Every structure is written in C-alpha cells, then in structure tokens.
Amino acid sequence: MAAVIQRPLRGSRISTFYPVKNLPSLSSLDSAFQLQEYISLLIRLDVHDVEAITSLPGTSGESNKEDEKEKEGEKSKSSAPEVSVDEACWIYEQLRRLAQDLSHPLITTLQQECTRASCPEMKAGEWLYLCVAHGNDGAMEQCCAIDYILHTVDSATALLNSPRTFPSRLSIPQTSHRHFSSLARRLGRIFAHAYFHHREAFEQAEAESSLYARFLALTSKFDLVPSEFLVIPAASSSSSSFSGSAHHDHQHPHHPPPPTVTRSKFGRNRTDTMVFADAEA
C-alpha cells in the first residue's frame, strides 16, 4: 500500500492541511517518528476527544472512530497492514506530547498572573510540593510556584530526551519504565496548582485544549498515577464546568490521610516531595 504523504508541499496554503479532515491509518505513515505524528494528527482532528487520543491504536477507542468514518463514506483502512504498537512506546510519546502541550495555553497564561509575589510556594489546596531541581543528591527545597512549574517541565523534557535513559523511541528499556509514573505525577501537580489557585486560567486552558482531561484519561488507562495523588476533585474534573462544589471544597479544606506509597504498573511513587502546607507554616 502506498504511503500517505502528510507533509505540506511547497506553496501549499495552511488551510489545505490544517485542520486534519481525514485520519490516515498508523501503518500508512512512513516516518521515523510514526507514533509522534499519529498522536499529532489525532489531536488536530479533535483535541477534545481524549479517549481516541490516548487509546492504543487498534483498541476500542480507535475502532469506534474508524467505524464512524466508514459510515461517512470515507475509504476503509482495513486493507492496510496492522501495526503492533508497544505500550511503553505509546506512553512515552504521550508523556512527551503532554509536556510539550503544557507550555500553551496553560503555562503561558499562568506566567501572566502566577508570580513570585502572588505564589511564593508551590501549593495545591492544602498540599505543599518541594522542588528537587536545587542542589545535588536529590536535595529538596521550596521555590515559588512558577519556578517549580518551569523546573518540572524542563526536567521532564530533559529526561524524556535523555539518550541514556531513553536511547531509542522505538523500544523503551524495561529499566526506564519506572520513570513514567514519576513523570506523570510531577506534571499533574501543575494542573493541581492551576486549579486551586488560578481557576480562571485553568478553565480557559481546559476549554481550549482539554489537556487535563487527556492527562486523566492517560493516567487512568495505563495506571500511571494512583488516585490518592490526584488532588483535583474527581467530580469537578469530570464535568464541563470547574466551579460550584469545587469552590466550596477549597474554602473549607479537609485533611485527607497522607498518601501511601503504592506501586503502580510503571514503578513506585515517591511521596517525600509532597507534604501538608500547614506543616510548613
């Protein structure tokens, strides 16, 4: 089967290739970064369809989308050879794209209002997060929220692009799987701070990108982050409007039991960078 060319030709108008109107099959993408391009096409097709974006190609989420396209009269992809996607490679590419998409619109919006003066500590509700980007030997220090956020994105990007930890994007070493849970947990703290302390920016970014919904779908589907580390109320995160009872919960905080150290599918979660804010008062 001939490969589908997804790259724009010289002189093409941007309206001819964005947004994506037809989703090609994964096997038709002739690229060294096949999964990266496929995820990008899924996002451009419908950024709010987080189930389709995070589902492994060939699973129920993808099958439903292809069935809908066939009903619309599009060309069937059944003749294309099936591609077996390694789960670890899929999670790696999803986390890589997640760290990239955090920059805009969420972090660019936060930089306008989250300052060293307004948020001198990295908090999310009653939780205080300590930064490990200072010093050596895993030294933990407090830093302002915006610095913590930038340090987290920078360290996640550096780790995901480290040739020592991830020498290949086609095959992830078993020893590197343990980083997935830690990466997802730390990136999730950015959403938590925005939700509790910059609600309007969080809602605006979510309405535009559904990035937290994608994060939740990814972490729950592949067991990356235990529920006790997801501090945003579940009822609020699943609704289209992040208001109402969530504001009430924030005004009258309660102290849940400290999260226990649990072992997820992709490694153990550390909890020593997450403490009660009252303990530091």
89 annotated as a binding-site residue: no
8 A C-beta contact, residue 193 and residue 126 = no
At 31 the three-state DSSP class reads coil
3-state DSSP of 167-184:
CCCCCCCHHHCHHHHHHH
Residue 28: partners with Cβ closer than 8 Å, 6 or more residues away = 1, 3, 4, 77, 80
8 A C-beta contact, residue 160 and residue 139 = no
- For residues 160-180, one letter each, b for 16 or more C-beta atoms within 10 angstroms of the residue's C-beta and e for the rest, the string is beeeeebeebeebeeebbebb
What are the helix (H) ranges across the chain?
34-45, 50-54, 60-71, 87-102, 108-113, 145-160, 178-197, 199-209, 211-221, 234-237, 245-251, 277-280
198 annotated as a binding-site residue: yes
119 annotated as a binding-site residue: yes
193 annotated as a binding-site residue: yes
219, two tokens: 């972490």
Strand partners, 124: 127
Q: Would you list which residues are annotated within the binding site?
A: 114, 119, 193, 198
Q: Residues comprising the binding site for Zn(2+)?
A: 114, 119, 193, 198
